Amino acid sequence: MSEKPTIGFIGVGLMGHGMAKNILQAGYPLVIKGNRNRAPVEDLVGQGATEVGSPREMAERCDVIHLCLSNAPQVESVFHGPDGILAGARPGLIVIDCSTSDPNVTLALAAALGEAGGKMVDAPLGRTPKEAEAGTLDTMVGAEAEVFDCVQPILSCWAGNINHVGGVGDGHKMKLLMNLISMSYAALYAEVTALGAKVGIAPATVQKVIGSSRLGNGFFDTFMSYAVDRDRDAHKFTIENGSKDVRYANSMAAEAGALSLIASATHQYLTHAEAIGHAQDYVPMLADHVARLNGVDLEEEASKR
């Protein structure tokens, strides 16, 4: 019998596949739940993972379960019901939610899991599928201190930058702050690029000048890799997911009684793109939509050097 705990993973998509692969390659027994996209599931099974049919079955077989899902309703759906995690939970089970979720949902699920003798950890992610495959993601962790110590070796399989930020729910709060920054960057970069084009400053010039200054950063680089260089895969994160994260951040601000003018404006840009049928576009493509609002064809402008 392996001395390592058995790890479950629900959500082996763009981010989850690489994370699960790295857990498996670190020698942990891995149990996964498949979905409609069979390619990553079959790849992991081919490497030694075991597939199960329900979250309940996973909870009955695993010591630690990872979730890597799109939103809070999806997270709730795998916990509840006759085939949910709670139906199969037993004392000692740890669930690590790597989704970007609503902190209030996290706290409610932690309480429900606690009644079954389990523990909740929120460990949302930073960076992209590239880093997920490499095992160098960022994560901000909300957990009791002793639970964090228990799961840290597992987190280290897929994260290169691990920050324990507080108790359960605090990881998701920190992630909402992080994604509010990144999505506000996206709105700002899109607006500035369009404004530059309107006044005769080519997008390539904005990319060069800002990118080589102290205002440059990794997010700027990937955003402009699409806006200027037209690399569609520069940052595989959808506008729909970005909009959801900013919506959660706005709700968090409202509950705290905090002023959130930038958050509100950022959300309007994202919801505009959703409303015109582009929810599945990647976030850097927001530049095209903001440019069109300004009467600018960004692809044409990006060709100017």
Catalytic residues: 175
Task: State which amino acid sits at residue 43.
Answer: D
Which helix (H) or strand (E) is 137 found in, with range?
strand 137-142
Query: Do the strands 125-126 and 119-122 form a parallel or antiparallel pair, or are they unpaired?
Result: unpaired
Residue pair 105/83 in contact by the 8 Å Cβ criterion: no
Q: Which residues of 143-172 are buried (b: 16+ CB within 10 A; e: fewer)?
A: beeebbebbeebbebbbeebebbbbbbbbb
Give backbone dihedrals phi and psi of 142, rounded to 5 degrees, phi first: -110, 120
Give backbone dihedrals phi and psi of 185, rounded to 5 degrees, phi first: -55, -45
Task: Tell the residue number behind the tokens 């309107």, with chain if given.
Answer: 198
DSSP state string for 27-57: T--EEEE--S-HHHHHHHHHTT-EEES-HHH
Give backbone dihedrals phi and psi of 212, rounded to 5 degrees, phi first: -95, 5
DSSP state string for 240-277: HHHHHHHHHHHHHHHHHT---HHHHHHHHHHHHHHHTT
